[in-house]
Amino acid sequence: MKPLTFAAGLVLATSAAAQTPVLTVYAPDYFVSEWGPGPKIEELFEAECACDLQFKPGDLLPRILLEGARTEADVVIGLNTDVTGKARESGLFAPHNADMAALTLPVAWTDDIFLPFNYGHTAFVYDTTRLDAAPESFDALLEAGDDLRLVIQDPRSSISGLALALWVDAIYGEEAEAAWAKLAPKIVTVTRGWSESYGLFTDGEADMVLSYTTSPAYHIIAEGDETKKAAIFPEGHYFMVELSAKLASTDVPELADQFLAFTVSEPFQSMIATGNWSIPAALDPSGWPAGFQQLDLPETVLFYSEEEAAERRDAAIEAWRSGLSR
């Protein structure tokens, strides 16, 4: 009798748990640490949804493509524009139904599948105590003395590195390879990801690091340190946006829609600036935290559409490779 009672209890327990709908969200790994935005998103959304939001951190698109239509994910958050083409092609994602009127992006956004929740721009970040005057334009950076030490990320393994390659491509076009060749003697090294580069910069191994226009906000707000600045170039800065999307195969489509609408709602948007150290995608600057309002931001924003980016990508990476290998 006993095993049976136990089994019955198990069945009852699982059906009781099943009454609370579960929303499975795939997110980048850094999301779920206690320093990332994950815990706050979970808390805010669970307060309004009567559901259980479960983050599954790790690779986003590779995992979904491997899983196909049988994926467990209902929603994925934290995609970048460099993968939206592949993601769209797969047919695994569904339109988001969210209202995009609230978006406050510096570029027009009409995508009905991928919904932005925060953005930033590529920029070279420096320490004012170590570098007296930062170059005032990309041209000036290329012409700067070879004692200026930069650390950047590899466009073949990092999203910010790819954005840099596209940035140089957008400014210099056919001259991109020559631009890279001028930059080459100043580049201390190329790292696999952003973390390694930023670590080298904070350790003093480089004067400037490829990062984001929003990086100084972290130092201002979390550390009260105003010595980190992003060098702003009049040629423009490459736009980097983070996106979420709904899976077509979700078994809780209403809940997924509710979550996507939540990501552009006020509670989420006013949290994400300091939660993910990026600019909210749907919030008037007056609502930004003070540290964000004092950031130096570019007037010109460069951005390739999905098709243009797909078309330019290989050439941009090749210019990087051959320019730096000279």
Partner 1 sequence: MAQRLVTLSAAIALLALTLGPIGAVLIWAEGVSSLRPGDLAALRFTVWQAFLSALVSCLLAVPLARALARQRFRGRGLLLALLGAPFILPVIVAVMGLIAVFGQSGLINQAFAALGLPRFDIYGLHGVVLAHVFFNLPLATRMMVQAWLAIPDERFRLAASLGLSRRALFLTLEWPLILRILPGAFAVIFVICLTSFAVALTLGGGPRATTVELAIYQAMRFDFDPGRAAALALLQLVLGLVAGVVALALSPRQGFGVGRDRSVPRWDGAGRRVLDAVVIAAAVLFLLLPLGLVVARGVPGLSLLEGDTIRAAGHSVIVALASTLLCLVWALALSTRRGELLALMAIAISPLVLGAGLFLVLRPFVNPFSMALPVTALVNALMALPFALRVLRPEAESIRTDFLRLRQTLRLTGWAWTRLVLLPRLRRPLGFAGGLTAALAMGDLGVIALFADPDRATLPLQVYRLMGSYQMEAAAGAALLLLVLSFGLFWLFDRGGRVHAQSRTG
Q: Of the listed pieces 27-35, 107-115, 255-263, 288-296, which binds partner 1 according to CB under 8 A?
A: 27-35
| CB nearer partner 1, residue 188 or residue 264 | 188
Q: Of the listed pieces 94-102, 111-119, 196-204, 240-248, which binds partner 1 according to CB under 8 A?
A: 196-204
Binding to partner 1 (CB under 8 A): which residues in 87-146? none
Q: Of the listed pieces 58-66, 98-106, 114-122, 266-274, which binds partner 1 according to CB under 8 A?
A: 58-66
Chain centre distance of CA 96 = 19
Asked whether position 85 contacts partner 1 by CB under 8 A, the answer is no
What one-character-per-residue DSSP string does 109-176 give? ---SS-EEEEEEEEEEEEETTT-SS--SSHHHHHHS-TT--EEEE-TTT-HHHHHHHHHHHHHHGGGH
Least distance CB 188 / partner 1 (angstroms): 6
Structural contact between residues 169 and 302, judged by C-beta atoms closer than 8 angstroms: no
Asked whether position 325 contacts partner 1 by CB under 8 A, the answer is yes
Asked whether position 204 contacts partner 1 by CB under 8 A, the answer is yes
Asked whether position 167 contacts partner 1 by CB under 8 A, the answer is no
* Polymer length in residues for the chain: 326
Asked whether position 35 contacts partner 1 by CB under 8 A, the answer is yes
| CB nearer partner 1, residue 28 or residue 116 | 28
Name which position in 195, 293, 294, 305 contacts partner 1 (CB under 8 A): 195
Structural contact between residues 210 and 93, judged by C-beta atoms closer than 8 angstroms: no
Asked whether position 29 contacts partner 1 by CB under 8 A, the answer is yes
Query: Are β-strands 237-247 and 93-94 bridged in parallel, bridged antiparallel, or unpaired?
Result: antiparallel
- Short-list 132, 92, 94, CA closest to 115: 94
Name which position in 218, 235, 261, 287 contacts partner 1 (CB under 8 A): 218
Paired tokens of 105: 């992006």
Asked whether position 178 contacts partner 1 by CB under 8 A, the answer is no
- Short-list 197, 199, 195, 188, CA closest to 149: 188
| CB nearer partner 1, residue 299 or residue 307 | 307
Chain centre distance of CA 214 = 11
| CB nearer partner 1, residue 263 or residue 274 | 274
- Short-list 292, 267, 266, CA closest to 278: 292
Asked whether position 9 contacts partner 1 by CB under 8 A, the answer is no
For the chain, give the longest Cα–Cα distance. Answer: 83
| CB nearer partner 1, residue 92 or residue 103 | 92
Q: Using CA atoms, how far apart are residues 162 and 82, in angstroms rounded to an integer?
A: 8
Binding to partner 1 (CB under 8 A): which residues in 272-301? 277
Report CA torsion sign: 299, 305, 311, 316. Answer: positive
Residues forming the site for partner 1 (CB under 8 A): 29-30, 32-36, 38, 54-59, 61-63, 65-67, 70, 72, 82, 86, 149, 154, 156-157, 162, 184, 187-192, 194-196, 198-200, 202-206, 215, 218, 222, 277, 320-321, 324-325
